[in-house]
Amino acid sequence: MPRVTPPDVDRAAAARAAVAARRARAAVKQSVAARERRALDVAESAWAGEPTAPEATLRVRELLMSIPSLGPTRADRVMALLGIAGSKRVGGLGVRQRTKLRDYLLGREGRGQLPTSRLVVLAGPTAVGKGTVSRYIREHYPNVLLSISATTRPPRAGEVDGEHYYFVSDAEFDDMIARGEFLEWATVHNAWRYGTPRPPIDAALADGRSVLLEIDLQGARAVRGAMPEALLVFLLPPSWEELVRRLVGRGTESPEEQARRLETAKVELRAQDEFDVKIVNREVGQAAAEVVELLAVP
Ligand SMILES: Nc1ncnc2c1ncn2[C@@H]1O[C@H](COP(=O)(O)OP(=O)(O)OP(=O)(O)O)[C@@H](O)[C@H]1O
Ligand SMILES: Nc1nc2c(ncn2[C@@H]2O[C@H](COP(=O)(O)O)[C@@H](O)[C@H]2O)c(=O)[nH]1
């Protein structure tokens, strides 16, 4: 039997402590995984059983908070991202919300495979400030990847090709459609065509980087169809009167065009509940910060 000298005793104790710590960490991990699995089981049995069953009457917030790493703040944030109101009960969720919650809980189970990036789509009525908020993000958050659309509209003063848009001819736009290069495209305000090039988005997401698109309502709907995992954000004005003030104050449209856009805006505002998250653009910096926060995967 080898003699154990004092330094060896220290080393042996340290090794035993390290093994114990590893085991404790593994046990904690297992119990977290078990509680995540349990949260999913509770949700599934709520949806399979009676609406009055205890699982069904449980609030989604409480269900989420049964997961050890989710405190009240993170649970609220997850609910906002999933588009679930704070008061909702598990059994009261609609089909789409159930799918989102299920995907979220399933994603947590295999945390290793959970995506680290996200596609966020920012849309909203004309003149609400989509362009202004996007510009603010471009200037103040250089790490955010903003998709650059192609458009057949001519550049405005100060706009740079390849930075604000890819300014292309009608024929070039047709070619891009034919080559299947767009994630979505649309004719906006009955005037020019705009499209989101898909290859840079696929590359960024595969690389673990989130991407922000600032597009119109038709585009947002098309993205939802093509990539249901995208997060759709609707930018709202503080009031209808303020929206009119912004459109008229911008002074880039004729009175006839303003009237036409305001009619479209009424239709667009009615679509707000199709979106996962709503942000009111009261102050540009604040709205931009809220959008940027959504680009991080919780
Ligand atoms: N938070 C805000 N407070 C006050 N004015 C704002 C705010 N955000 C934007 N604006 C102003 O509102 C006007 C419209 O903004 P912007 O052009 O960004 O809208 P948009 O949603 O991109 O419009 P469109 O879809 O018609 O291109 C601009 O004059 C802009 O300076
Ligand atoms: N469907 C898409 N809409 C887009 C895209 N890029 C921009 N837009 C929207 O167009 C209008 C007008 O933009 P403007 O810069 O000419 O004022 C605005 O609502 C944008 O959100 C796109 O790729 N697809």
So what's the pLDDT on residue 1?
A: 43
Identify residue 216 by its one-letter amino acid code.
D
Same domain assignment for residues 145 and 261 = yes
Measure 160 CA to ligand 1 centroid, in angstroms.
19
Per the annotation, binding residues for ATP are 124-131
Please work out, in degrees rounded to the nearest 5, the angle formed at the alpha carbon of residue 269 by the alpha carbons of 267 and 275. Answer: 115
Q: Is 182 left (phi over 0), alpha (psi -120 to 50) or beta?
A: beta
As averages over each run of 10 residues, the pLDDT of the chain (298 residues) reads: 50 62 54 73 88 89 81 79 86 88 76 69 96 94 93 93 96 97 94 95 90 96 93 97 97 92 95 94 96 84
What is the distance of C-alpha 154 from the center of its chain? 30
Shared domain for 165 and 214, answered yes or no, is yes
Task: Say whether both 95 and 130 belong to one domain.
Answer: no
Do 61 and 173 reside in the same domain of the chain? no
Name 99's Cβ contacts closer than 8 Å, sequence gap at least 6: none
Strands 182-188 and 231-236: unpaired
In angstroms, the Cα distances linking 295 to 26, 42, 100, 208 are 31, 29, 17, 11
Q: Which among 138, 149, 188, 189 is the best mutation to test ligand 2's pocket, defined by most ligand atoms within 8 Å of the CB?
A: 188
Residue 121 class from Cβ within 10 Å (0-12 exposed, 13-18 middle, 19+ buried)?
A: buried
| Domain count within the chain | 2
Do 96 and 125 fall into the same domain?
no
Helix runs in the chain, H state only: 6-48, 54-57, 60-65, 72-82, 95-109, 130-140, 170-178, 199-206, 217-226, 240-250, 255-270, 284-294
- Give SS3 for 222: helix
Query: Which domain CATH number covers 211?
Result: 3.40.50.300
pLDDT at residue 113, as a whole number? 47
What does the pLDDT read at residue 55? 87
The residues with which 165 forms a beta bridge, in sequence order, are 161
pTM, two decimal places: 0.71
170 and 26 within one domain: no
17 lies in the same domain as 87 = yes
Q: Which of 89, 108, 127 is the last residue of a domain?
A: 108
Same domain, 33 and 128: no
Quote the CA–CA distance of 171 and 292 in Å, as a whole number: 35
140 is a domain residue: yes
Q: By residue range, what is the domain housing residue 12?
A: 6-108
pLDDT at position 68: 67
Give yes or no for residue 33 CB within 6 A of ligand 1. Answer: no
Q: Check which CATH number belongs to the domain holding 24 and give it.
A: 1.10.8.50
Q: 39 with 125, same domain?
A: no
Residue 120 has a pLDDT of 95
Q: Ligand 1 centre and the CA of 127: distance in Å?
A: 5
Is 81 a pocket residue for ligand 1 (Cβ < 6 Å)? no
